[in-house]
Amino acid sequence: MSGGPLSAPRAADTERVRRLRSAASDWAGLRVLVTGIAVSGFAAADALLEHDAEVVVVDAREGEAEREKAQLLEVLGGRVHLGPASLGEAPGGWDGYDLVVTSPGWRPDADLLVGAALAGVPVWGDVELAWRLRPEAGAASWLTLTGTNGKTTTVEMTAAVLRAGGLRAAAAGNVGTPLIEAMRHPDAYEVLAVELSSFQLHWLSTDAEASLRPLASACLNIAPDHLDWHGSLDAYAGAKGRVYENTRLACVYSTADPRTEELVRAAEVEEGCRAVGTTRGTPSVGMLGLVEDVLADRAFVAERRTSAAELGTLADLSRDGAPVPPHTVDNALAAAALARAAGVAPTAVRDGLRGFRPQPHRVEQVAEAGGVRWVDDSKATNAHAAAASLAAFGSIVWIAGGLAKGARFDDLVAAHASRLRAAVLIGRDRDEIAAALARHAPDVPVVTVEPPQTGGVEASPEQLPDSLMDAVVERAAALAQPGDTVLLAPACASMDQFTSYSHRGRAFAAAVRRRGQR
């Protein structure tokens, strides 16, 4: 597919790109290549066309959804190239582009992005573009947050607290509203709670004068993840640490993960910006933490050396009277710190936390019968997340397995072996977890559930989730005893047997309900 003719090739105007600071800047005629036509790519192309830029979009996929989006962008004046052949070289050659805007999932070693770097064409991510498309006056403040685990829950918790404080606020970025759409919302937001993935952070500009300057920022934790994309743990952590760059008021870190404080120390921030720690223990001056069961703020109070503000209690975080997992406390303290940096009152923190309900598949109890709890934490797609989930319960029948993404499980199993009643393993890399259990928990019974067979052949993809989870639930029920928790915390990605972690969680919950009805 293609649109109108391109203007004549020219060298990239990098100085003009550097001057793009707001929606009021001169975007007209800017030659932009957008890589990807999914949610963020489409939003970027649409916004650029609205500002009279010349836009070319490429995507290797050419399904119905991509063709529909391509047709719409072409009506608006863009050009679109679909299919694998579109990814070989920049359409028309690199001399015809001033800027590349890439979707977050594109790896830095993709041919087009390497070609842009060699040609001297700046590459932005969707977050950078959204920041530069803010209104010239009255733009929303950004509270940015990242981490290996807990990002979505915490950023939505932050937005809930902001709204409880009377602010027009939304969760945006890697969750909720795409950032570029948030910039164009007809009822302008006052504050945005922005979730940023390591991919999005990687593509932020290094131009400190023009790039992202959050009011406050936070990194919840760092654990090995996406190493196939970043190449090493150091590179991954370095990308996460960029969340703190240019922060104006407060950099929030967790004492539960000292690496987050190291990232704060390494960041270049605005003069007067403070480091604000969170702790599950009693907070020191300049920190938020717990005093017995009270969430206490000794960072955003005038007399913080001698007093603290009460922000709520653990009871405000409890769901249905269940014990509060340690990672939920960490998330709540980070959300409170970010919201307090935006000026909300202590009572708003309490009200926001009390009314907040996390998205499904995050340590979600789906049933209790015969003294056994059934808990869905399908969102635990890596070992670090699974560790937080396992730490929340005493005696566990653990359902785990899937795509390990190169991870190892020895530390996870060794740390939580005493909690395990049994393990039920599924998925392509289940043998990796089985081996770790054999080394560190040899007395724990381990059951492997193979994909069910139908008439002598493996079940079809349509049959697999239900039939697989029915078998898993039956095996787990046979192993569980009163007082146990059957916990789906896979420590692995889901795409070998399910379309997503949410699909896996729904299949588990449905199988539990079917068993309860028999």
Is 240 labeled as ligand-binding?
A: no
Q: Does residue 501 sit in helix, strand or coil?
A: helix
Is 152 labeled as ligand-binding?
A: yes
CA pair distance 470, 465, nearest whole angstrom: 8
CA pair distance 267, 195, nearest whole angstrom: 19
pTM for the model stands at 0.79
**Could you read off the pLDDT of 90-119 as tens digits, one per residue?**
999 999 999 999 988 788 889 999 999 999
Residue 456 above 50 pLDDT? Answer: no
Average pLDDT of the segment spanning 18-43: 94
Residue 83 above 90 pLDDT? Answer: yes
Which of the four pLDDT bands, split at 50, 70 and 90, describes residue 4?
very low
For domain 364-517, which architecture applies? Alpha-Beta Complex (3.90)
**Strand order across the beta sheet in which 54-59 lies:** 79-82, 54-59, 31-35, 99-102, 123-125
Q: What is the per-residue pLDDT for 6? A: 53
Average pLDDT of the segment spanning 156-161: 96
236 dihedral zone (left: phi>0; alpha: psi -120 to 50; beta): alpha
Which of the four pLDDT bands, split at 50, 70 and 90, describes residue 455?
very low
Which of the four pLDDT bands, split at 50, 70 and 90, describes residue 172?
very high
Is 328 labeled as ligand-binding?
A: no
DSSP state of 249: S
Residue 233 above 90 pLDDT? Answer: no
Per-position b or e across 279-314, b if 16+ CB within 10 A of its CB: beeebeeebbbbeeeebbbbbbeeebeeebbebbbb
Q: What is the per-residue pLDDT for 465? A: 63
Residue 461 above 80 pLDDT? Answer: no
Q: What is the per-residue pLDDT for 9? A: 57
Residue 142 above 90 pLDDT? Answer: yes
Mean pLDDT check: name the lowest of 40-44, 232-236, 294-298.
232-236
Query: Which residues fall within 8 angstroms of residue 172, CB to CB, at 6 or more apart?
Result: 178, 179, 182, 192, 193, 194, 195
Break the chain down into helix, strand, coil percent, rounded to 5: 35, 20, 45
Is 153 labeled as ligand-binding?
A: yes
Q: What is the per-residue pLDDT for 188? A: 87
**Could you read off the pLDDT of 341-397 as tens digits, one per residue?**
999 999 999 999 999 987 778 888 889 888 999 999 999 999 988 998 898 888 999
Give percent above pLDDT 70 in the chain.
94
Q: What is the per-residue pLDDT for 459? A: 43
Nearest to 183 by CA among 145, 158, 150, 212: 212
Query: Which residues fall within 8 angstroms of residue 469, CB to CB, at 6 or more apart?
Result: 507, 508, 510, 511
Q: Is 226 exposed, middle or buried (0-12, 13-18, 19+ CB in 10 A)?
A: middle
What are the residue boundaries of the structural domains of the chain, listed by start? 14-129, 140-355, 364-517
Is 231 labeled as ligand-binding?
A: no
CB-side neighbour CA atoms (13 Å) of 232: 3
CB-side neighbour CA atoms (13 Å) of 481: 5
The answer as to CATH 3.40.640.10 being correct for domain 14-129 is no
The residues pairing with 294 across neighbouring beta strands, listed in sequence order, are: 291, 313
Supply angle C-alpha 318, 507, 319, rounded to 5: 5
Residue 412 above 80 pLDDT? Answer: yes
How many CB atoms neighbour CB 370 within 10 A?
Answer: 10
Q: What is the per-residue pLDDT for 1? A: 56
Average pLDDT of the segment spanning 34-40: 93
Residue 473 above 80 pLDDT? Answer: yes
Question: What type of residue sits at position 77?
Answer: G
Distances in whole angstroms, Cα of residue 105 to Cα of each of 94, 209, 286, 347, 434 = 22, 26, 37, 39, 31
Class of domain 140-355: alpha beta
Residue 265 above 90 pLDDT? Answer: yes
Question: What type of residue sits at position 506?
Answer: R
Two structure tokens written together for 458: 């493996």
Question: What type of residue sits at position 73?
Answer: L
Q: Using the structure block, give the residue that is written with the tokens 């049959």.
A: 463
Which of the four pLDDT bands, split at 50, 70 and 90, describes residue 223?
confident
Average pLDDT of the segment spanning 303-328: 87
